[in-house]
């Protein structure tokens, strides 16, 4: 097998993996316990843990229950079934470093609609109460922490014994292979793409399902859904809807086209997304805030505006690529750079780099409205506690790191053409600042 290229040095990988293994699982439990049982106050939970030490963490850590495993299994099986059986347009992904072009079935938006309609319908008809999911949330997160770890072990084994394509390889280091992954496009059979399932159909879909769950739980507990929860839920659902509307575009991003299916990305999508990404709504369940119609509407409009700009950035680049640069961007022909590169097999290829429109403001301007959108669906919680804003801070760090990694990857791929692009678009994320 060919050697795999890693995103970071071995030292950074070891540090990242040890941190993720030792700090992230307890933090998932910490954030759940604080939001649900600690009044959203970091100091309350911290004081308890400081007084009780390791035993305190053991006390608050819920044990995976049969109902938690059942909920996870039913949800995962349902999403896998939808991924396989629902119709969808045939979409080709970008050419991989080994010269392969993955093929997908674009049925994410339909799967998203079926999922939400089914979930709300079984609640409305009295078949299943989503409040049960909230009541067993800690057990579910605990089960996901354990189950996802073993899932990643299976991915590592599969990469060794049954890789799905030539876009697979070992670095020669077991820790790096497990953490960053061995396969770029692991599949079961020819049609079931594992990364599409973990990243999109489980991770992103669980975000939407839990957003609805928190809304229903507040209604069940208080007999009403306050405006702060409505704003939070609507904005998160608009964002996830945007994601599935644009899912085929996501298959061209770093997560799918460049990051391998390892512990870093798969554990993150299976555990971190449903727990941390949904945490502002988790907080609002027991902390209903009345914003008033005017403030609520202002936040809602601002949030939807940011989500639209984020979408339009991606739409603009897709349209530019689809038309091979023969289009109009912001009323005039686009500015572009024709960049040449070589695949791992030595084949010469070319790409068009857009340097106008949103992509002329900065090289990763689309991260700005994405961070602002996260702020707007969190701000209905107001500022009584810090923890609801953890996701906004985490997302900012994640996207700044991703922008840096993407620049490094593009520099290695395009070389002098990327330098020309950076000279033309000098700012990485924030225009005129960074």
DSSP string over 352-404:
EEE-STHHHH-TTTTHHHHHHHHHHHHGGGTTS-SGGGHHHHHHHHHHHHHHH
- Residue 45's alpha-carbon distances to 37, 102, 317, 391, in angstroms, are 9, 46, 45, 18
pLDDT digit string, tens, across residues 266-314: 999 999 999 999 999 999 999 999 999 999 999 999 999 999 999 999 9
Three-state SS at 5: coil
The CA distance from 403 to 419, in Å, is: 15
The CA distance from 310 to 359, in Å, is: 12
Task: State if pTM tops 0.85.
Answer: yes
Query: In the predicted model, what is the mean pLDDT of the chain?
Result: 91
pLDDT digit string, tens, across residues 33-85: 999 999 999 999 999 999 998 899 999 999 999 999 999 999 999 999 999 99
């Amino acid at each position: 097998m060919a050697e795999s290229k890693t995103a970071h040095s071995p030292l950074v990988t070891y540090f990242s993996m040890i941190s993720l293994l030792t700090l992230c699982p307890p933090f998932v439990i910490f954030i759940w316990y604080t939001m649900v049982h600690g009044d959203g106050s970091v100091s309350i939970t911290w004081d308890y843990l400081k007084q009780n030490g390791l035993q305190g963490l053991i006390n608050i850590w819920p044990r995976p229950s049969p109902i938690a495993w059942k909920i996870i299994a039913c949800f995962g099986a349902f999403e896998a079934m939808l991924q396989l059986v629902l119709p969808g347009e045939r979409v080709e992904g970008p050419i991989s470093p080994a010269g392969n072009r993955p093929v997908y079935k674009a049925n994410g938006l339909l799967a998203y609609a079926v999922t939400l309609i089914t979930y709300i319908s079984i609640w409305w008809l009295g078949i299943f109460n989503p409040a049960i999911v909230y009541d067993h949330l800690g057990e579910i997160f605990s089960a996901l922490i354990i189950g996802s770890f073993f899932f990643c072990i299976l991915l590592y084994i599969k990469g060794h014994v049954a890789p799905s394509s030539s876009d697979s390889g070992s670095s020669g280091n077991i820790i790096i292979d497990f953490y960053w992954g061995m396969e770029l496009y692991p599949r079961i059979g020819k049609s079931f793409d594992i990364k599409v399932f973990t990243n999109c159909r489980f991770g992103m879909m669980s975000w939407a399902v839990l957003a609805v769950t928190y809304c229903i739980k507040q209604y069940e507990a208080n007999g009403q859904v306050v405006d702060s929860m409505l704003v939070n839920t609507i904005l998160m659902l608009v964002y996830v809807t945007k994601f599935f509307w644009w899912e085929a575009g996501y298959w061209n991003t770093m997560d799918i086209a460049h990051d391998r299916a390892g512990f870093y990305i798969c554990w993150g999508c299976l555990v971190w997304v449903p727990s941390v990404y949904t945490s502002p709504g988790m907080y609002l369940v027991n902390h209903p805030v009345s914003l008033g119609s005017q403030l609520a509407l202002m936040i809602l409009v601002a949030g939807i505006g940011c989500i639209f700009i984020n979408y339009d950035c991606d739409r603009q680049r897709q349209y530019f690529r689809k038309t091979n640069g023969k289009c109009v961007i912001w009323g005039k022909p686009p500015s572009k750079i024709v960049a040449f590169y070589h695949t791992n097999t030595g084949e010469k290829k070319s790409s068009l780099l857009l340097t106008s429109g949103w992509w002329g403001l900065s090289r990763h301007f689309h991260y700005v409205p994405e961070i602002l959108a996260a702020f707007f669906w969190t701000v209905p919680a107001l500022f009584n506690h810090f923890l609801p804003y953890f996701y906004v801070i985490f997302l900012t760090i994640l996207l700044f790191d991703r922008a840096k990694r993407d620049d490094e990857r593009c520099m290695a791929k395009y070389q002098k053409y990327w330098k020309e692009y950076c000279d033309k678009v000098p700012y990485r994320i924030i225009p005129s600042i960074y």
